[in-house]
Chain A
C-alpha cells in the first residue's frame, strides 16, 4: 500500500515545528510503529534525521507511545494504543497526519516526543499508600471483596500515556488523576490517607498547568485502556468530602 505521511517535525523544545510530507510503501501486516521504523530506515539511508517518537513495549502496556493520528490520540481504533495499531486499518492511497500529543503541561521535546513528567509529579504528590517495606501485615488479613477489587483494578489499569490529556479540549488530566484516586480509594488499604491524597494530587494538577474538566468526556473515548469517567465523579466526591472535612477541623 502507498501512503502519504504528514509528520510533525520539530528539532527541539524551543524551536518552531512544521509538517513534513513523506511517501512510503507499507504492508497491511505491519504495525503502525513498524511502518515508522521503515520510514526511518529510509530517511537514514538518505543520511537524514529520523523521526523521533517514543516507544518501548510495543504491546500496549508501558504507555510510552504517544501520538495523534489523523486527529485522534492513538489513532482511529478504540481501546488500542499506537503500538497495537496495524496498517491493515488503513487503505492504499491514504494520507495520514501524525502529530505529537499537544498540551501546555506536555511540552514537545523533539518531533513526536513530549515531556510527560508532570504525570510523575502528580503521583509523587500523593498517589501512593504510605507503607514502608517490612511494615505490612499478612496479605490475607486485609479482605477485599471481589467487586471492590475489580473496580480498583479497572482504575489501576491506566498506563499513564496521556492520551486523555491530548484528547481533552481543555488539556485536563482529570481522567489520569482520578484513575489513581479511585484505584486507591476502592481498597481498604488506601482509605486511611484518602483525604490528604486527593487534595494534594488536585493541587499538583493545577500547578502543572492542566486545564479544568468540563465534562466533554473526550478522554474516555480516546483512552486506550477504557478508563471510565465514573472515576472523575468518584474523585470529585473524594475531593468534596476532603475539603468539607478540612473545613471541619
Chain B
C-alpha cells in the first residue's frame, strides 16, 4: 500500500532549501567511498548526477542503452535554458521564476520543489560556463539572454540553436573525467529491464547487455532513474526514436507511484506527417510564431485544390484566408501559449480545412513579415519602399538573419522553400510532465529509488514553460540529488556492499528472462513497429490534444484489445542472446501498452481542463479550458495493479505563496 509523504521541510518558502541543506544528514567522506550508487540514464539529469556524486566520493555505476552517453535525447534540445540570474537587470528574481513556473504549470505543481528549482537555477549557469559550454555572448563578453514563451523577462541562456547539445557535452565531459579517474564505472549499451528490491529497498537493477544479450545483475546501495520522458508512447513525437518508459514503468510495477501520467505537452509548430512510413516529427522552434502568421483557407474548394496541387497557397487571396489565431485571440494572436495554439490547429483540421494530403497541417506564413522587414530596411537605406522586388529581397535577408537555420532544416526535410511558400506545420507530442512521483528528496515511493529529470513529475505541473526542462534536469543532477540522496544513504553507512548473489537478484533475473522468452516465442505475423504505430494512433485520437469521457473509455478498450493481439501475434526475429534491436523495441512497446492505459485512466478521472490536459466537457462557452481548483488541486499518484484497476492516491497541493488565477489570452 502506497503512502504519499512529500517530506516538504518546515519554514517559509524561501528558507526551506537553505535550512534543509544545513540539516540533512551527511555522509562522511570515508563512508562515501563504501557506498555504491546506480544511475540509470546519462542524459542531462543522469550525466550531471553521476559526475557530481562521483566527485563527492560515492562509487557510481552509470548505465545507458546508447553506445555513448553523449547521444542521449537531451542532445536535441534547441532553444535554451532558464535561470534567475537577472543579468539583464529587468526585474527577474528567484521568486519571479518560481511564480512563472507555477503559473505556467496551471497550478498543479508543488510550491517547495519549484522554488528550490528557481533557487539553484543560477548555479547551473555558473557550472556550465566553468565547464566550457560556449553560451552566446554580448559584445562586452558577458553572457547573452533571450526571452521565451509567455514571460516578461529575458532569462534564457542559449548556445545558438543547440543548447541541449552543448549542455549535454558539458555534463558528458564531467562524467568522462570521473570515468577516467575510476570513480564512475560506465556501462554503455546496457538497458535496464527491472529494478531489484531487497527487504523493501531498491538495491540494484537487471540489465541486458545489448551487444551480447546477456541478462546481468548490478547491485548498489540505491538506484537513481534518469531515464527521460515517455512521449514516444504516441509513436510519433519529437522525442528521439529510442526514448521509452520502460525503466520508470518497471519501477511502477514494483510499487512506485506514477504521477499525473496524462499531462503531456503538445508543441504547436512541428513539421507535419507526410506519409504512413513516417518515423518521427521534427520540431520547428516556437520563436517562428513571432513573425509567422498561422492560417488555413476559408473555403473548402480551396482546401481541395491545395491538397491536389491545383492551387498554390499564394494563389489564395487575403479575403479567402482564415487567420484563425488572430481572429479568436486578438490580444495574443499568433503568440498564444503552446496548448491553445495546438488545439486551435486541431479544430480547423477537424473541420476539414487542413492543407496537406493527410489533412493535418496548417500554414505558417512569413510573406507579411518579409514585406514588413523589407519595407523598413528599404526606408532606412533611403531606397524606394514601394519597389516590391527590392523590398522582398531585403526582407528575405532580414528573415534569413533571424531564422536562417530553421528555414534550412525545413527545406531539407520537406523540399519546400519557406521564403517563397508558407511552411506547413502541425502540433506534435513533445514532452511529458507526468512521471514517477517523488518527494522533496526526489525519492519515489520505493525506498532507495530516486527519479530525476523528465522521468519524474515534480516541477512543471500540467504544462511546462519553454527552456525549463534543461534547467530542471541539471538542477536535479548537479545541485539537488547530491544533497538529498544523503537522506537515504546516511542510514546505510553500515550496510555492506550489496551482493548480486542474493536470491532477489536471481529471481528478478529469471523473471526477466522468462518475459523475454515468452515475447520471442510468440512468433506471430506482425512487426513490433506496426503495433507501436497503432498504439500511438489510439492514444493520439483518444488521449491527445483534447479528450472526452466516451473517447477515453473507447480508447482504453481499443488499447486492451491491441495489447491482447500483441501478445498473440507479434513477430520478433533473431534470438534473445544476441544484438537484437527488434527485441529491444518489443519490451519497450509492451510497457507502453500499460502506461497508455494508465494515461487514459488518469485523463478520465481528471474532470477538469488544465495545462496540456483538455477535457471537452470542461470548457467555457468560448471553448477555453476550465480548471476546477476546488476538486482537483492535487497530484494524482497511481498505484498500478497487475490485476484490476489502478488505485488513485492524492497529494493535495497547497498554495501559500501564489494566488490561483485563470489563464486568458483573448
A binding-site residues for B, Cβ under 8 Å: 12, 27-31, 33-34, 37-38, 41, 44-45, 47-50, 52, 54-59, 61-64, 80, 84, 86, 88, 109-110, 113, 115-117, 119-120, 123-125, 127-140, 142-146, 149, 152-153, 156-157, 159-160, 183-184, 187, 189-190
In contact, B412 and A80 (Cβ under 8 angstroms): yes
Task: Known contacts A146-B141, A189-B129; decide if A49 and B85 are in contact (CB<8 Å).
Answer: no
From A54, A133, A157, B55 is in contact (CB under 8 Å) with A133
Task: Known contacts A27-B275, A123-B176, A132-B55; decide if A143 and B140 are in contact (CB<8 Å).
Answer: yes
Task: Known contacts A124-B176, A140-B142; decide if A146 and B137 are in contact (CB<8 Å).
Answer: yes
In contact, B126 and A41 (Cβ under 8 angstroms): no
From B73, B143, B180, B412, A57 is in contact (CB under 8 Å) with B73
In contact, A86 and B413 (Cβ under 8 angstroms): yes
Contacts of A64 in B (CB 8 A): 66-67, 71
In contact, B141 and A44 (Cβ under 8 angstroms): no
Task: Known contacts A55-B241, A187-B132; decide if A145 and B169 are in contact (CB<8 Å).
Answer: no
Q: Which residues of B, 115-171, contact A by the 8 Å Cβ criterion?
A: 123, 125-132, 134-143, 159-160, 162, 165-166, 169
- Complex CA gap A134/B127 in Å reads 7
Whole-angstrom distance from the CB of A132 to the nearest CB of chain B?
4
Contacts of B68 in A (CB 8 A): 116-117, 119-120, 160
Whole-angstrom distance from the CB of B155 to the nearest CB of chain A?
13
Contacts of A143 in B (CB 8 A): 140-142
> What are 7 A-B interface contacts by the 8 Å CB criterion?
A49-B574, A124-B180, A127-B173, A136-B123, A140-B87, A145-B137, A160-B70
Q: Which residue of A lies closest to B529 (CB)?
A: A41
Interface string of B70-88 (1 = CB under 8 A from A): 1111011000000001010
From B69, B131, B140, B579, A52 is in contact (CB under 8 Å) with B579
Q: Which residue of B lies closest to A85 (CB)?
A: B412
Contacts of A12 in B (CB 8 A): 578-579
Q: Which residue of A lies closest to B70 (CB)?
A: A160
In contact, A139 and B571 (Cβ under 8 angstroms): no
- Complex CA gap A56/B279 in Å reads 11
- Complex CA gap A81/B48 in Å reads 28
How many contacts A-B (CB < 8 Å)?
206
In contact, A133 and B482 (Cβ under 8 angstroms): yes
In contact, B579 and A37 (Cβ under 8 angstroms): no
Contacts of A131 in B (CB 8 A): 127, 130-131, 174
In contact, A139 and B275 (Cβ under 8 angstroms): no
Task: Known contacts A127-B173, A146-B137, A189-B129; decide if A139 and B143 are in contact (CB<8 Å).
Answer: yes
Contacts of B571 in A (CB 8 A): 44, 47
In contact, A47 and B573 (Cβ under 8 angstroms): yes
Whole-angstrom distance from the CB of A242 to the nearest CB of chain B?
18
Contacts of B138 in A (CB 8 A): 146
From A80, A119, A128, A149, B173 is in contact (CB under 8 Å) with A128
From A44, A130, A153, B134 is in contact (CB under 8 Å) with A153
B binding-site residues for A, Cβ under 8 Å: 48, 51-52, 55, 66-73, 75-76, 85, 87, 123, 125-132, 134-143, 159-160, 162, 165-166, 169, 172-174, 176-177, 179-180, 186, 188, 211, 240-242, 274-275, 277-280, 282, 409, 412-415, 478-479, 482, 527, 529-530, 571, 573-574, 578-579, 581-582
The A interface is mostly helix, strand or loop, or mixed, namely loop
Q: Which of A50, A52, A123, A129 has the most CB atoms of chain B within a 10 A radius of its CB?
A: A123
Closest 10 CB pairs of A and B: A143-B141, A136-B130, A128-B173, A136-B126, A153-B134, A124-B180, A133-B52, A139-B129, A152-B134, A56-B240
Task: Known contacts A47-B573, A57-B240, A64-B67; decide if A37 and B277 are in contact (CB<8 Å).
Answer: yes
Contacts of A49 in B (CB 8 A): 573-574
In contact, A109 and B582 (Cβ under 8 angstroms): no
- Complex CA gap A113/B176 in Å reads 23
- Complex CA gap A88/B211 in Å reads 34
Given contact pairs A133-B52, A143-B141, enumerate 13 new A-B contacts (beta carbons under 8 Å).
A33-B279, A37-B529, A41-B530, A45-B527, A47-B573, A50-B573, A54-B67, A58-B280, A62-B71, A123-B172, A129-B131, A130-B177, A153-B159
Whole-angstrom distance from the CB of B611 to the nearest CB of chain A?
26
Q: Which residue of B lies closest to A30 (CB)?
A: B277
Q: Which of B48, B52, B162, B409 has the most CB atoms of chain A within a 10 A radius of its CB?
A: B162
Contacts of B73 in A (CB 8 A): 56-57, 62
Contacts of B177 in A (CB 8 A): 124, 128, 130
Q: Which residue of B lies closest to A48 (CB)?
A: B573
Q: Which residue of B lies closest to A135 (CB)?
A: B130
Q: Which of B52, B73, B279 has the most CB atoms of chain A within a 10 A radius of its CB?
A: B279
Contacts of B160 in A (CB 8 A): 153
Whole-angstrom distance from the CB of B655 to the nearest CB of chain A?
31
In contact, A56 and B66 (Cβ under 8 angstroms): yes
- Complex CA gap A134/B131 in Å reads 11
- Complex CA gap A133/B48 in Å reads 9
- Complex CA gap A98/B499 in Å reads 46
Task: Known contacts A38-B277, A41-B527, A137-B126; decide if A109 and B55 are in contact (CB<8 Å).
Answer: no
In contact, A149 and B137 (Cβ under 8 angstroms): yes
In contact, A189 and B76 (Cβ under 8 angstroms): no
In contact, A128 and B529 (Cβ under 8 angstroms): no
Whole-angstrom distance from the CB of B453 to the nearest CB of chain A?
16
Whole-angstrom distance from the CB of B177 to the nearest CB of chain A?
5
Contacts of A135 in B (CB 8 A): 130
Task: Known contacts A44-B573, A62-B240; decide if A88 and B415 are in contact (CB<8 Å).
Answer: yes
Contacts of B274 in A (CB 8 A): 29
Contacts of A37 in B (CB 8 A): 277, 279, 529
- Complex CA gap A127/B571 in Å reads 44
Q: Which residue of A lies closest to B161 (CB)?
A: A61
Contacts of A125 in B (CB 8 A): 180
Contacts of A58 in B (CB 8 A): 240-241, 279-280, 282
In contact, B137 and A117 (Cβ under 8 angstroms): no
- Complex CA gap A34/B281 in Å reads 12
Whole-angstrom distance from the CB of B186 to the nearest CB of chain A?
8
In contact, A61 and B132 (Cβ under 8 angstroms): no
Contacts of A156 in B (CB 8 A): 132, 134, 159, 166, 169
In contact, A128 and B162 (Cβ under 8 angstroms): no
In contact, A152 and B132 (Cβ under 8 angstroms): yes
In contact, B134 and A137 (Cβ under 8 angstroms): no
Contacts of A27 in B (CB 8 A): 275, 277
From B130, B173, B413, B582, A123 is in contact (CB under 8 Å) with B173
Contacts of B140 in A (CB 8 A): 143
In contact, B162 and A61 (Cβ under 8 angstroms): yes
Contacts of B240 in A (CB 8 A): 56-58, 62
Whole-angstrom distance from the CB of A231 to the nearest CB of chain B?
14
Contacts of A142 in B (CB 8 A): 129-130
- Complex CA gap A38/B280 in Å reads 14
In contact, A116 and B130 (Cβ under 8 angstroms): no
Whole-angstrom distance from the CB of A50 to the nearest CB of chain B?
6
Contacts of B48 in A (CB 8 A): 133
In contact, B574 and A139 (Cβ under 8 angstroms): no
In contact, A187 and B134 (Cβ under 8 angstroms): yes
Q: Which residue of A lies closest to B238 (CB)?
A: A59
In contact, B67 and A115 (Cβ under 8 angstroms): yes
